[in-house]
Amino acid sequence: MIHGDTAKKLSFHVGQRILISRKKKKLICVLNTMEHIIQKNEIAVSHEISDILKLKPGNVVDVEIAEKPRSIDLIKEKLNGKKLNKDEIFEIIQNIANNSLTEVEVAFFVSAILEKGMSLEETKYLTQAMVETGNHLHFKGVVVDKHSIGGIAGNRTTPIVVSICAAAGLIFPKTSSRAITSAAGTADVIETIARVDFSIDDIKKIIKKTNGCFVWGGSLGLAPVDDKIIRVEKIVNADSSSQVIASILSKKISAGSKHILIDIPYGKSAKFSEREALLLKKRFLQMKTVFKLDLDVVLTKGDEPIGNGIGPVLEIKDVIKVLTRNNSPKDLEEKSLFLSGKILEMVNKARPGKGVAMARSILESGAAYKKFLEIIHAQKGNVNLLDSLCSNAAYDIKSRKKIKIKHLNNKLFNTLARLAGCPEDKASGIYLYKKKGNDVDKGETIFTIYAVSKEKLRHAINFFRKNERKIIEIY
């Protein structure tokens, strides 16, 4: 932001790309003009910019018109259907990394990938470029990771899988995201009882002590271009298979993982149909050879929420129920054991077909819960913190007649939970008493909505009333 008169004097115009530099740090930004609170020859920058350039009030910066990066022409060519080569993809990704492209230009890149697709080669270079423009972690030992593709409400297997595998001696440097469009990300869930925002050095210490972690990946600079692309892509959910693959693999490779399990949930109201999931699996497996990774892909049923809770606190409670063997939600337990078993088999900890049994015995022995507590403790947390997190308003959705449930819609339960306050209001969300196939008597509660304010509760209830038949389908 500069003064309108200064802009005129310099022949700068609103929306123009300018290069701000101070000492050796440089950043390309988009110019805007403002009056009254800034004087002529002054510049005001956003928090984000002052952080990157390490600016303080009174600092002098150089400002000049930034040259239009060649990337823009490359993006244009991709929009017109041209295949990009390695150098071209690296140039675009480097320009995104050093903030030379605006979000509008990134939007055109995302559209081009979505509309024209990417070849196996292009996807490889996209992934490599994302890895190279970020930080890297390295760990000794058998380093594993898993990723469940999003879209399934309440699907909080990660803390359980990490605890089981770390208890078995595997190194599991799990970084997760916060919710962008869903009710909760793993980082939001763990944050109810522990810190998740650590430096790379902190993470190394946590892993050294406990074998595993559940931290937020956002501030680690692992494949940071992926985050920038996702921020734009999420606006229209324009995630193409190439972008999904590059996004997931770049994060895992950057985190130093050598054995990676990808879980693709499919089904009604999941992100993918079975056919799409199979196609995506095939494309993932093609990358296995390219990157010499020990990569496995499983397809799991994802046509209703998993567990009973949807929302940060409600989901961590489900996780603890499974780990403490106290009234476990069976679907969450079984899926966690299945994924853990796969990983144990991938790294030859368990013989083929024996992974689930091994995972179950680690869970039943209490070793997994012990490991979970160790990691939570290493992340400066405490499960007792849960007692202080409660909602102030709740509402039971009851059945008006005797019904049998056919389908619970993932997307709409996510929306419902967000209207109730997720993920910001930690204790808000949905608690499901009934799932697919269950019979419900007249007057019986199907689920409860929790919120921290009556207003938000009302929003959620209104949404449910309007969309009742889509949220819960019955026979």
Residue 392 or 438 with smaller CB distance to a second copy:
392
Q: Considering the rule CB under 8 A, would residue 19 count as an interface residue with a second copy?
A: no
Q: Which of 9, 25, 35, 286 binds a second copy (CB under 8 A)?
A: 35
- CB–CB of 200/190 below 8 Å? no
- CB–CB of 135/221 below 8 Å? yes
d(C-alpha 3, C-alpha 37), whole Å: 9
Take residue 254 and report the two structure tokens written for it: 């950057």
Q: Which of 114, 170, 196, 262 binds a second copy (CB under 8 A)?
A: 114
Q: Considering the rule CB under 8 A, would residue 34 count as an interface residue with a second copy?
A: yes
> Pairing mode, if any, of strands 25-30 and 17-22?
antiparallel
Q: Considering the rule CB under 8 A, would residue 249 count as an interface residue with a second copy?
A: no
- CB–CB of 16/67 below 8 Å? no
Q: Considering the rule CB under 8 A, would residue 352 count as an interface residue with a second copy?
A: no
The binding track of 395-424 with respect to a second copy, each residue x by CB under 8 A or -, is -----------------------------x
Q: Considering the rule CB under 8 A, would residue 63 count as an interface residue with a second copy?
A: no
Residue 236 or 390 with smaller CB distance to a second copy:
236
Q: Which of 6, 16, 33, 177 binds a second copy (CB under 8 A)?
A: 33
Q: Which of 22, 26, 76, 377 binds a second copy (CB under 8 A)?
A: 76
Look-up of token digits 């909080």: 156
Residue 221 or 256 with smaller CB distance to a second copy:
221
Instruction: Find the binding residues for a second copy in span 115-134 (CB under 8 A).
Output: 115-116
Q: Which range in 33-41, 117-125, 193-201, 243-251 contacts a second copy by CB under 8 A?
A: 33-41
Q: Considering the rule CB under 8 A, would residue 180 count as an interface residue with a second copy?
A: no
d(C-alpha 148, C-alpha 225), whole Å: 20
Closest distance to a second copy from the beta carbon of 227 (Å): 12
The residue type at 174: K
- DSSP secondary structure code for residue 174 in this structure: E
Shortest CA distance to 93 belongs to which of 300, 257, 243? 243
**Starting from the edge strand earliest in sequence, which strands make up the sheet with 62-65, in order?**
25-30, 17-22, 62-65
Q: Considering the rule CB under 8 A, would residue 462 count as an interface residue with a second copy?
A: no
Backbone angles phi, psi at 238, to 5 degrees: -90, 45
Closest distance to a second copy from the beta carbon of 59 (Å): 11
Rg (CA), the chain: 24
Task: Name the catalytic one among 188, 227, 239, 318.
Answer: 239
Q: Considering the rule CB under 8 A, would residue 197 count as an interface residue with a second copy?
A: no
Closest distance to a second copy from the beta carbon of 455 (Å): 12
227 labelled catalytic: no
Q: Which of 61, 79, 394, 461 binds a second copy (CB under 8 A)?
A: 79
Number of residues that bind a second copy (CB under 8 A): 42
Instruction: Find the binding residues for a second copy in span 219-238 (CB under 8 A).
Output: 231-232, 235-238
Sign of CA dihedral 421, 423, 425, 430: positive
Residue 32 or 119 with smaller CB distance to a second copy:
32
Q: Considering the rule CB under 8 A, would residue 103 count as an interface residue with a second copy?
A: yes
Take residue 374 and report the two structure tokens written for it: 């160790």
d(C-alpha 191, C-alpha 121), whole Å: 38
Element (DSSP H or E) covering residue 187: helix 186-190
How does DSSP assign 14-65, residue by residue?
A: TT-EEEEEETTEEEEEE--EE-SSS-TT-B---HHHHHHHT--TT---EEEE
Residue 34 or 373 with smaller CB distance to a second copy:
34
Residues 6+ apart with CB under 8 A from 392: 451, 452, 453, 454
Q: Which of 88, 105, 188, 331 binds a second copy (CB under 8 A)?
A: 105
Closest distance to a second copy from the beta carbon of 236 (Å): 4
Beta pairing partners, 145: 260
Q: Which range in 102-110, 267-275, 358-366, 382-390 contacts a second copy by CB under 8 A?
A: 102-110
The alpha helices in 347-451, defined as continuous H runs, are: 355-364, 367-378, 410-419
Residue 107 or 130 with smaller CB distance to a second copy:
107
d(C-alpha 274, C-alpha 265), whole Å: 9
Peptide bond into 352 cis (omega under 30): no
15: left (phi over 0), alpha (psi -120 to 50) or beta: left
Closest distance to a second copy from the beta carbon of 101 (Å): 10
Q: Considering the rule CB under 8 A, would residue 313 count as an interface residue with a second copy?
A: no
Residue 71 or 308 with smaller CB distance to a second copy:
71
Q: Considering the rule CB under 8 A, would residue 455 count as an interface residue with a second copy?
A: no
Catalytically annotated residues: 239
List contacts with a second copy (CB under 8 A): 1, 4, 11, 14-15, 32-38, 44-48, 50, 57, 72, 75-76, 79, 103-108, 110-112, 114-116, 231-232, 235-238, 424
